[in-house]
Chains A and B, each alone.
Chain A
Amino acid sequence: MAVVGSLLEAGQILMSWPTPLWVVVGLLLGMIAGALPGIGSSLGMAIVLPLTLPLGPINALCLLVSMYSGAMYGGSIAAILVNVPGTGAAAATTFDGYPMSKQGRAVEALAISATSSTVGGVLTILTLIAVSPILIEVVLLFGTPEYFLMAVLGLSMIGVVASGSVVKAIVAGAFGMLLTTIGIAPNSPELRYTFGNLSLYNGIDFIAALIGMFAIAEMIKISAQKGGIAKEGVDLSGNLLDGVRTAIRHPVTILKSSFIGMFIGAIPGSGATVSNFISYGEAMRSSDDPDKFGDGEPKGVIASESSNNGTIGGSLIPTISFGIPGSGSTAVLLGGLLMHGLRPGPQLFDAELATTYTFMLALLVGNVVIFCIGIFLVTRLGFLTQVDTNYIVPIIVVLSMIGGYTLRTNWIDVVTVVGLGLLGYLMVKYNYSVIAFVLGVVLGPIAEENLLRSLELSNGTYSIFVTKPLSLILVVCILIILFGPFVKPRLERVLS
């Protein structure tokens, strides 16, 4: 009964003026921050954080979580329209969202993104409200060996998501991993390929790599194209209701991706970037027609967008339970909790339960607002795909450079944006998988760090990866993904 009472109290607080205003303001600010490459939710939230002091704890936290949620969705807008993933969480959205734009289906893609984000966000927040005390126990089952195996699971998706030559995909993925070895080694102060340059100590920033690979490479490609991004002659009047219907017609993909997002979001250090790749890979793996992915398949957008909004619910679990932020955004959110006198821990589920439920409900309501803004306002941006490339290309190139520099105020990131932009262009031209490369860049450091730490924990014994039931399940999943395509037809032949 205490839970129901707290929920009702939270509902009343949320609906009392001016809290709804701060939710909407947070969402709009988040969408803008998310749509701009290099800004993202964590920097946007950090800038706003000190300004929330006069607002009081409830309004401040509603503003911050709404920014977080808005940025997750906002990242998809630029990803779909101009192939620029505003945040790492929207990287997989470019794979099919941008091809849809080129086909004149930007409005549909934006509607799919808004619907999937909303449904994914609502589902996972409802789950969080219902079973948060149990979820924390699940999160604690994940230790260093399981983090490593999750990263390997993601890397094994290279074989699934890469079209064309598998050997070229593995080469691209391995090269991505190799680039991440630049900088201070993850488990020791050993310097690798830094040449005494402090700017290289922290290696290549993966967001800069994503901006280069997607935005710059695409701008090079379309710079010679006449007209806009959408092919000439295509009809842009796509019905946005089609997008909503398309998303709703794939409930399994939405459900699966949302909960993959929530699950991975709860693991510190992984977050939305990893989850949207794994969800995309899983949607492709389980599809009857995986060849359509990468050419404007709506299920690709659905998988990526429902999973990245799903991560928000997951990432709140360790943050509010133990004060352990799993990402930059949750670190700022934690700063907001502390700044307003709320201590993470059991009291947030006891004496402060109404406050906790208020910002969870704010996320819930925020997702509905995202749907409305997404459908009725953002879809109107579809015209951007018709703007002449003579205007679009310089704007995106400048925004990408500024975004690269803003990440860490490090010129190495600008060099990364340009260098990997050129590389990305060549990779596409010669059919090397960009997705495989990105998976290597994103998951390589997670795999390396957790492999070495696992071996430290086990004194060098590899059996640490199969001793716990959870790690064993993950090993089996990896084997199925790697060898399933070879074994399945043979098994079917034998059985028939």
Chain B
Amino acid sequence: MTSEDKCHRIGRRSFLKYSSAMSALAITGLAGCTGDSGSGEYPSGDLEYIVPFSEGGGTDTYARQVIPEMGNELDTNIEIRNVPGAASLRGTGELHHSEPDGSTFGGFNPPSTPVSAMVNPPDYDMQELVGVGAYARTPFVIVANSSYGVENMADLVSRYQSGDLTTFSGKSKGGVDHVLALTMQGNSDYDLAWENYVGYDGSGPAVQAVISDETPACISTDTAAEGAVSDGRVDAVTCLSSEGTSVFPDLQPVTEEDFPNIDYLGQLRRCMFVPPETENNVVQTLTGALESALQTDAIQDWSEETGNVIEYGEPQAAEDAVASAFEQVPENVDLDQVREASN
């Protein structure tokens, strides 16, 4: 045996020795990642929370406040992972395909994500996700450039019917704003007769288009419109949620003007879910942690200071929000029309 062969043999031995050690370490690490040590206690390791949107958005902002408090309640570390893309379908899909052992949970906001799924159906059934609870509500409002002096929803409807106004706007076509706009256009009790819907890349840009009078009015979340309304360049016309908005407490909900209730579309219900077939005790543990976290001083103070509304809802409320979107949107909106109008 040459010295070179010997070196090779030693190298192989060393390799086997180190690779065995590495495998043992990796398996140990993976065991920690699953969050289920088999002892029956939950949680037994670190957890992961999927945010299907980018950093800095509304869902991410809530998560970065609420999730650490949930971690404190559960006495474990919860990693927040942003999985943006595909109008939140990618992150939601990743949640759906995760192991149902409680190590992964996530949040999205019906009806927004269900509408995306109805327009471009993914390869999983979102309604199979198990609700952990709801934690907040973000109403949609309509704002108009203040130069038009629009007083309320009835006034806005009459402006569109008379042809004074023709263009209406909101977030991109195929999304929840567009579906809302089509619903109000097609529903004879609303008869919001806009002729041209222009989609923007988010509520912020849509509001800016209204400020500069590129479009006269748009749908926006209440928080995104707050700065422009307080500046006086745009007027808040109506709140599309029957429950009103804490951002504009004096703003009349659309239902108070005797327009039909469209809450299934008029507000985002911020909810948390776990993968299908997750055991009930895991769901109950997470639900308890969520409910307790929302009551902590840290979250209550943050909510009070920032105006970000906190509203706890039972697990069933989260599942109902998804189910109601899947039931009511196809009943009230021609989804083929949404797709065709978009092209």
Q: How far is the CB of B330 from chain A (nearest CB, A)?
A: 16
Is B56 a contact partner of A334 (Cβ separation < 8 A)? yes
Contact with A along B87-124 (1 / 0, CB 8 A): 10110010000000000000000000000100110110
Contact with B along A189-218 (1 / 0, CB 8 A): 111000010110110000000000000000
Contact with B along A178-192 (1 / 0, CB 8 A): 000000101111110
A143 at interface by CB-CB < 8 Å: yes
A8 at interface by CB-CB < 8 Å: no
Measured between beta carbons, the chain B residues less than 8 angstroms from A329 are 56
Known: A53-B302, A198-B90, A323-B224. A143 touches B209 (CB 8 A): yes
A382 to B261 alpha-carbon distance, docked (Å): 65
Stretch in A100-108, A167-175, A343-351 touching the partner:
A343-351
Is A46 a contact partner of B298 (Cβ separation < 8 A)? no
Q: Which residue of A lies closest to B167 (CB)?
A: A457
A456 at interface by CB-CB < 8 Å: yes
Contact with A along B282-316 (1 / 0, CB 8 A): 00000000000000001000100111100000000
Known: A50-B68, A335-B61. A322 touches B207 (CB 8 A): yes
Measured between beta carbons, the chain A residues less than 8 angstroms from B163 are none
A140 to B209 alpha-carbon distance, docked (Å): 9
Q: How far is the CB of A384 from chain B (nearest CB, A)?
A: 29
Measured between beta carbons, the chain B residues less than 8 angstroms from A338 are 61, 223, 306-308
B60 at interface by CB-CB < 8 Å: yes
B11 at interface by CB-CB < 8 Å: no
Known: A322-B207, A409-B81. A331 touches B57 (CB 8 A): yes
Q: Taking each of A143, A202, A321, A453, which has the highest tally of chain B beta carbons within 10 Å of its own beta carbon? A: A453
Known: A187-B199, A189-B119, A408-B83. A43 touches B212 (CB 8 A): no
A190 to B199 alpha-carbon distance, docked (Å): 14
Pick the contact of A53 from B54, B57, B209, B298 — CB < 8 Å? B298
A66 at interface by CB-CB < 8 Å: no
A35 at interface by CB-CB < 8 Å: no
How many positions in chain B have a CB within 8 Å of any CB in the partner chain? 62
Pick the contact of A343 from B84, B120, B175, B230 — CB < 8 Å? B230
Pick the contact of A323 from B82, B199, B204, B338 — CB < 8 Å? B204
Query: Which residues of chain A in 327-374 are interfacial with respect to chain B, using CB atoms and an 8 Å cutoff?
Result: 328-329, 331-332, 334-335, 338-341, 343-347
A419 at interface by CB-CB < 8 Å: no
Is B196 a contact partner of A322 (Cβ separation < 8 A)? no
Is A42 a contact partner of B231 (Cβ separation < 8 A)? no
Pick the contact of A189 from B61, B298, B305, B342 — CB < 8 Å? B342
Q: Taking each of B196, B214, B224, which has the highest tally of chain A beta carbons within 10 Å of its own beta carbon? A: B214
Is A343 a contact partner of B226 (Cβ separation < 8 A)? yes
Q: How far is the CB of A467 from chain B (nearest CB, A)?
A: 13
A408 to B57 alpha-carbon distance, docked (Å): 14
A449 at interface by CB-CB < 8 Å: yes
A410 at interface by CB-CB < 8 Å: yes
A408 to B85 alpha-carbon distance, docked (Å): 8
A236 at interface by CB-CB < 8 Å: no
Is B65 a contact partner of A50 (Cβ separation < 8 A)? yes
Measured between beta carbons, the chain B residues less than 8 angstroms from A334 are 56
B173 at interface by CB-CB < 8 Å: yes
Q: How far is the CB of B78 from chain A (nearest CB, A)?
A: 12
Q: How far is the CB of A447 from chain B (nearest CB, A)?
A: 14
Measured between beta carbons, the chain B residues less than 8 angstroms from A347 are 230
Known: A140-B211, A199-B90, A268-B204. A324 touches B227 (CB 8 A): yes
A281 at interface by CB-CB < 8 Å: no
Q: How far is the CB of A143 from chain B (nearest CB, A)?
A: 5
Query: Which residues of chain B in 301-343 are interfacial with respect to chain A, using CB atoms and an 8 Å cutoff?
Result: 302, 305-308, 338-339, 342-343
Pick the contact of B199 from A142, A331, A344, A453 — CB < 8 Å? A453
Q: How far is the CB of B308 from chain A (nearest CB, A)?
A: 7
A155 to B83 alpha-carbon distance, docked (Å): 31
A324 to B306 alpha-carbon distance, docked (Å): 16
Pick the contact of B205 from A184, A268, A339, A459 — CB < 8 Å? A268
Known: A143-B214, A321-B231. A189 touches B173 (CB 8 A): yes
Give the bracket for the number of chain A residues in contact with chain B: 35 or more
> Main secondary structure on chain A at its contact with chain B?
helix
B75 at interface by CB-CB < 8 Å: no
A410 to B224 alpha-carbon distance, docked (Å): 28
Q: Which residue of B lies closest to A189 (CB)?
A: B174
A310 at interface by CB-CB < 8 Å: no
Is A43 a contact partner of B204 (Cβ separation < 8 A)? no
Is A198 a contact partner of B204 (Cβ separation < 8 A)? no
Measured between beta carbons, the chain A residues less than 8 angstroms from B54 are 42, 328, 331
Is B86 a contact partner of A202 (Cβ separation < 8 A)? yes
Pick the contact of B89 from A198, A332, A459 — CB < 8 Å? A198
B127 at interface by CB-CB < 8 Å: no
A440 at interface by CB-CB < 8 Å: no
Q: Which residue of A lies closest to B301 (CB)?
A: A53
Pick the contact of A198 from B55, B93, B338, B343 — CB < 8 Å? B93
A21 at interface by CB-CB < 8 Å: no
Query: Which residues of chain A in 106-165 are interfacial with respect to chain B, using CB atoms and an 8 Å cutoff?
Result: 140-144
Q: Which residue of A lies closest to B54 (CB)?
A: A328
Contact with B along A48-68 (1 / 0, CB 8 A): 011001000000000000000
Known: A199-B85, A345-B226. A322 touches B56 (CB 8 A): no
Measured between beta carbons, the chain A residues less than 8 angstroms from B122 are 198
B228 at interface by CB-CB < 8 Å: yes
A345 to B229 alpha-carbon distance, docked (Å): 8
A444 at interface by CB-CB < 8 Å: no
B252 at interface by CB-CB < 8 Å: no
Contact with A along B16-48 (1 / 0, CB 8 A): 000000000000000000000000000000000
Is B87 a contact partner of A46 (Cβ separation < 8 A)? no
Measured between beta carbons, the chain A residues less than 8 angstroms from B200 are 453
B201 at interface by CB-CB < 8 Å: yes
Q: How far is the CB of A413 from chain B (nearest CB, A)?
A: 10
Measured between beta carbons, the chain B residues less than 8 angstroms from A410 are 83, 85, 90
Pick the contact of A184 from B83, B86, B167, B215 — CB < 8 Å? B86
A318 at interface by CB-CB < 8 Å: yes
Q: Which residue of A lies closest to B232 (CB)?
A: A346
Q: How far is the CB of B272 from chain A (nearest CB, A)?
A: 17
B198 at interface by CB-CB < 8 Å: yes
Q: How far is the CB of A39 from chain B (nearest CB, A)?
A: 11
Contact with A along B235-275 (1 / 0, CB 8 A): 00000000000000000000000000000000000000000
| B interface residues (Cβ-Cβ under 8 A, vs A) | 54-57, 60-61, 64-65, 68, 81-87, 89-90, 93, 116, 119-120, 122-123, 167, 172-175, 196, 198-201, 204-205, 207-209, 211-212, 214-215, 223-224, 226-228, 230-233, 298, 302, 305-308, 338-339, 342-343
| A interface residues (Cβ-Cβ under 8 A, vs B) | 42-43, 45-46, 49-50, 53, 140-144, 184, 186-191, 196, 198-199, 201-202, 268-269, 318, 321-325, 328-329, 331-332, 334-335, 338-341, 343-347, 408-410, 449, 453, 456-457, 459
Task: Given A343-B226, A345-B226, A456-B199, output 14 extra A-B contacts at Cβ < 8 Å.
Answer: A43-B55, A140-B211, A143-B212, A144-B209, A186-B201, A187-B172, A187-B342, A268-B208, A323-B224, A324-B208, A332-B55, A335-B61, A343-B307, A344-B226
Q: Which 6 A-B pairs have the closest CB atoms?
A: A189-B174, A201-B86, A46-B55, A331-B56, A323-B227, A188-B342
Q: List 7 A-B contacts (CB under 8 A).
A: A199-B85, A201-B89, A268-B208, A322-B207, A328-B55, A339-B61, A459-B196
